[in-house]
Structures are given as structure tokens and as C-alpha cells.
Amino acid sequence: MAVEVRMPKLTQTMSRGMVVRWLKKEGEEVKKGQPLLEIETDKATMEIEAEASGFLLQILVNEGELVEVNALLAIIGELKEKGKLVEHTGPPLTSKKPVSPAARRQAEKQHIDINSVLGTGPDGLITEDDVLKYAEQQQAKLGQQRSVYGEEQMVPLTGTRKAMADRVTMSHQILAKTTTFAEVDMNELIELRKKIQIPVTTWVVKAAILALREFPLINSILVDNKIIIKKYINMGVAVSTDDGLVVPVIHNAEENTLGEIAKKIKQLAEKARIGRLSLADISDGTFTVTNSGVFGSLFFAPVINYPESAVIGMGKIMKTPVVRDDQIVIRPMMYMSLSYDHRIIDGALAVTFLQKVKEGLEMPDTLTS
């Protein structure tokens, strides 16, 4: 019996997905659980496994195509069923064109929808030259233009950047965002880091975990007028990549030591930067930490990673004159912010929580267990 392969809804905010690469060809045998294709979601690129064994009878969406969730992608079945395939129902998809392997690789490299390219080879075959020519034409159209003020450049909002724009819009439209700030004396932590060489972000993550255990309402979401408090802490840590910001998740982070957290952040960041995060790596976050200080930002009010209720933002550590025991001294200071959903979290709780995180960072020995 033929089995339909459809675009899955892999994240809560996903509405469309792009077929990045088919890992099997039409007519090839596939086994249940075997990687079948790669899909780019609103957060990452990931492999999708076959849900049934059989043969890949028909591919209905080409590499580079962006389609709606639940759109029909392919059909798996027995070879005897190939002749019985009928025109599918669902969202309209363009017909498959003959494409040379070099052309497909070039289109993937340049993020070009192969179905938009006119093939000039035998029987309409799309060649690599066709793709390169199409890319030049698109660059001419979308690249340098002139206005009455001078040259302009237009860049299509697609892929990860489009997904990021959609999530930011959703966060602003739904959540009642408010931000509070704290100034943290990082002197003790910097001294301790001479012995325990772990990145500052990891220390903030650990301090946030301890504070979340004390103030669990921060670790919640609002669904259908019900506040759902998470008893586990799935900590998201924002990572910058060439394609934009992604937030991989450390699941059950409260069960990890400081060193284990550092190791997991490093592993997830490496996977994010090569586009190899799995669905599990980006799913079910309950709280997020993001560090703009690495880019030189002094302080900022980060966007909440919907549907979470709060996010901590870190600024850069900067030597600053401060008063200690009525004396002006120089201390390495860091501004830290908490953006939170005011529908769930009131100002008093937000400030108290952030002060608890600050307390942990200023007494870093409490974070080493």
C-alpha cells in the first residue's frame, strides 16, 4: 500500500518548510527509519526519516522548493504500484524537470529554486550553465538598482532570516514584553575562571537554572488562559550562525553540572554552525539565555523566544569605576537583562529572579557543583 510523505510540522511556529536535499532517488529502496530527505524549518535544517519501508516511487517536490506544512512531498510503496499513481491532491506543486547533478548542486549552493530555471539541454535538461545564467539574471534584478538617492541593494527575505522575522513578529504581537536590568560585578567570577576555564555564558546558564528552581513561575508558558509551569528546565542558548540566530536546547539542564553544561553548549553550537541540528536539539525550550556582549553590546532588551515567558540577555564585561566601601574602585561589570511576559510574571517577581541570578554570578563558588 502506497504511503504519502508530507511536510511535517516540526516546530510550534513552523508554517512552511523547504526541501533542501533528497537523500534517496526515485526508484530506490528505502527502509523505515532511514534518512529520506533534509528539510529546512523555521529554526534549523534537519533530516527526516522514512515512515515506511518500500521504494521511493515518486518525488513531488524538488530540492529548493518551499511548501506549506502537510504538503505532499513524495510517495513510498511497492514497485507494482508505480503505474497506479494518480495525480495527488493538496497544495499545487510544480512538475519535476530533468536536472543534471552539477546543476542541482549549484542551485543548492546558491539557494535557487531549480523549477524557476529554464533548461537548455536535451529534452529541457537543466544544466549548470543554466543555473549560473539564472543566478546572474536574478542578481541583476535584485542586486544593484538606482533610485533618486543613489544605489540600492535588495536581498530577498527567505530561509532562516524569514523564519527569524516571523518569530520576532509573533513574539511582539502576542506577548506583553517588559524588560528589567541588573548590573553584575564579575570580579569574583573572572578570578575563579583562571582556575575553571569555562565560558561566561555557561556560568550565566547555571545561575539561571538555580534561580528557576527557586522561582518556577518564570519557567512557564501561557496556553488557553492557563499557566503551565514546567517542572523541568530545557535551557535554550542562542547561537549566531551565518544564516542567522538559532536557539539549540539543553534538555533537563537542571540535571547537569557546570562542566557538562559547557560541553553541551559547545557541541550544540558546533552543530548549529554547520546546519546539523536535529529536531530534538531545537525543541521544547522553556527558558533562553542570549549573549550580545560577544559582539560588543553594552546592554539590550532581548526578544522572548515564544512561547517561552522570559529570556536573559548578557552585555559585554567592561571595566567600570564603582563605589565599594565609600571608595571608587575599578571592577569588571556586566549589564544583564530579563525580558519577560508581563501577563504571567509581575515586576516584583522579575526583579527578584534577576537579582538571584546576579547573586549566583557574584558568588560563583555556589555554581560549581
Name the pLDDT band for 118 (thresholds 50, 70, 90). confident
pLDDT given for residue 41 in this prediction: 77
What SS3 class is residue 54?
A: strand
How open is the CA angle 179-180-183, to the nearest 5 degrees? 140
3-class DSSP string for 227-269: EEECCCCCEEECEEECCEEECCEECCHHHCCHHHHHHHHHHHH
pLDDT above 90 (res 30): yes
Q: pTM to 2 decimals?
A: 0.70
- Examine the fold and report which residue of 54, 70, 96 is the final residue of a domain before the chain moves on: 96
* Cell numbers given for 76: 513510498
Distance CA 284, CA 351 (A): 25
Please list the alpha-helical segments (H only) found in the chain. Answer: 101-109, 128-142, 159-174, 187-193, 200-214, 258-273, 279-282, 347-362
pLDDT above 70 (res 31): yes
Same domain? 61 vs 107: no
pLDDT tens by residue, 14-23: 778 888 889 9
Of residues 366 and 41, more confidence is placed in 366
Strands 66-68 and 16-22: antiparallel
Same domain? 237 vs 332: yes
Of residues 72 and 92, more confidence is placed in 72
CATH number at residue 104: 4.10.320.10
Same domain? 335 vs 299: yes
pLDDT above 80 (res 93): no
- pLDDT > 90: percent of the chain: 55
94-133 burial: b if 16+ Cβ within 10 Å, else e: eeebebbeebbebbeeeebbbbebebeeeeeebbbebbbe
* Cell numbers given for 15: 508554517
> How far apart, in Å, do the first and last CA atoms of the chain sit?
55
Query: Is 30 in contact with 56 (CB distance < 8 Å)?
Result: yes
Same domain? 312 vs 191: yes
Same domain? 104 vs 245: no
Same domain? 191 vs 227: yes
pLDDT tens by residue, 2-15: 899 999 887 766 77
pLDDT above 90 (res 179): yes
- Examine the fold and report which residue of 156, 175, 195 is the final residue of a domain before the chain moves on: 156
pLDDT given for residue 108 in this prediction: 77
CATH number at residue 38: 2.40.50.100
pLDDT above 80 (res 153): no
- Examine the fold and report which residue of 156, 172, 194 is the final residue of a domain before the chain moves on: 156
Of residues 288 and 69, more confidence is placed in 288
pLDDT above 90 (res 65): no
pLDDT tens by residue, 235-257: 999 999 887 788 999 999 999 99
Distance CA 283, CA 264 (A): 15
- Contacts of residue 350, defined as CB under 8 A and 6 or more positions apart, other chains included, come to 178, 180, 218, 310, 338, 340
Name the least confident of 76-80, 82-86, 328-332, 359-363: 82-86
Name the pLDDT band for 105 (thresholds 50, 70, 90). confident
pLDDT above 50 (res 89): no
pLDDT given for residue 88 in this prediction: 43
pLDDT given for residue 14 in this prediction: 76
* Cell numbers given for 298: 553594552
Name the pLDDT band for 339 (thresholds 50, 70, 90). very high
What SS3 class is residue 193?
A: helix
DSSP-assigned beta bridge partners for residue 341? 177
Mean pLDDT, to the nearest integer, of 72-78? Answer: 92
Mean pLDDT, to the nearest integer, of 184-204? Answer: 97
- pLDDT > 70: percent of the chain: 87
Mean pLDDT, to the nearest integer, of 206-231? Answer: 96
Query: Is 93 in contact with 67 (CB distance < 8 Å)?
Result: yes
Kindly list the catalytic residues: 342, 346
- Which of 65, 55, 53 has its CA nearest to residue 85? 55
Same domain? 108 vs 46: no
* Cell numbers given for 351: 526583579
Residue 151's region, left for phi above 0, alpha for psi from -120 to 50, else beta, is: beta
State whether the Cα torsion 143-146-151-154 is positive or negative. negative
Same domain? 20 vs 89: yes
- Contacts of residue 360, defined as CB under 8 A and 6 or more positions apart, other chains included, come to 206, 207, 210, 211, 366, 367
Same domain? 180 vs 235: yes
CATH number at residue 256: 3.30.559.10
pLDDT given for residue 13 in this prediction: 67
Same domain? 192 vs 328: yes
Number of domains present in the structure of the chain? 3
Of residues 281 and 88, more confidence is placed in 281
pLDDT given for residue 92 in this prediction: 37
Name the least confident of 31-40, 46-55, 93-102, 302-311: 93-102
Determine the distance from the C-alpha atom of residue 64 to the mean position of all C-alpha atoms in its chain, rounded to a whole number: 19
Same domain? 55 vs 167: no
Of residues 60 and 203, more confidence is placed in 203
Domain holding 135, by residue range, is 99-156
Same domain? 176 vs 270: yes
- Contacts of residue 142, defined as CB under 8 A and 6 or more positions apart, other chains included, come to 154, 155, 156
Please list the alpha-helical segments (H only) found in 15-143. Answer: 101-109, 128-142
